[in-house]
Amino acid sequence: MSTIPARIYLASRSPRRRELLRQIGVNFDSLVFRGGARGEDADVDETPFPDEPVERYVERLALTKAEAGCRRLQWRTLPQHPVLAADTTLELDGAIIGKPIDKADAAAILQRLSGRSHRVLTAVAISDGARTRSRTCISEVRFRPLTDTEIRHYVASGEPMDKAGAYGIQGRAAIYIEEIRGSYSGIMGLPLFETAQLLEAFGYPL
């Protein structure tokens, strides 16, 4: 009898990650954590450690989210399938740049990215409770110089507010991007090459 899992869980609220999994034909159920004060999710702390390298930071969060997802399957007595999680962050001048906290922060982030190249790091992790594996994808994105008016209009659109680095490459921000080196899907939030490798390692048929 085959032990290949028919489904996985996606531990993410991101509509972009759901879209990307559907693109490669993966059957999944969403496993969302509680919002607000996080309560149940106190073990998913996204605060960087002092002097933590960005590569380690993004991998740590993806691993933590996948393992936390497995614990929630037990707590909620849900059917057991592998849990996939991911985390995306930006790095500029050695600084970690996550999601903006408000519109002013989004504008400030975009001003920093204007006319410069930055790195986009997305780590993806899968856990089945007994083992956990991860892969990290690193890409480079170059923005053309942005005017204050362009930044103001883009922030007003609302698109930057739930995205690492305050922009979505698959949205309006595409007109600001001169060049990318690396994985388009990784910049979106789920590198499909690395994701497929992990799924295959856990016996998922692609």
Q: What is the pTM of this model?
A: 0.90
Nearest by Cα to 86 from 135, 51, 52? 135
Place of tokens 């996204």: 46
Instruction: Give the mean model confidence (pLDDT) for residues 121-145.
Output: 97
The mean per-residue pLDDT over the stretch 65-77 comes to 92
Map out the domains of the chain as residue ranges: 8-201
Strand partners, 120: 90, 139
Q: What is the mean pLDDT of the chain?
A: 91
Question: Is 45 in the active site?
Answer: no
On the question of pLDDT at 9 being above 90, the answer is yes
- What span, in angstroms and rounded, lies between the C-alpha atoms of 83 and 160? 27
Tens of pLDDT along 88-132?
999 999 999 999 999 999 999 999 999 999 999 999 999 999 999
Q: Which two tokens stand for residue 23?
A: 């693109």
Q: How does pLDDT run across 17-33, given as a tens digit for each residue?
A: 999 999 999 999 999 76
Residue 121 tokens read as 């790091």
Q: Which fold has domain 8-201?
A: Maf protein (3.90.950)
Residue that wins the pLDDT comparison between 47 and 43: 47
Catalytic pick from 87, 93, 105, 128? 87
Quick one: angle between helices 192-201 and 15-23, nearest 10?
A: 70
Q: Cα separation of 121 and 8, whole Å?
A: 23
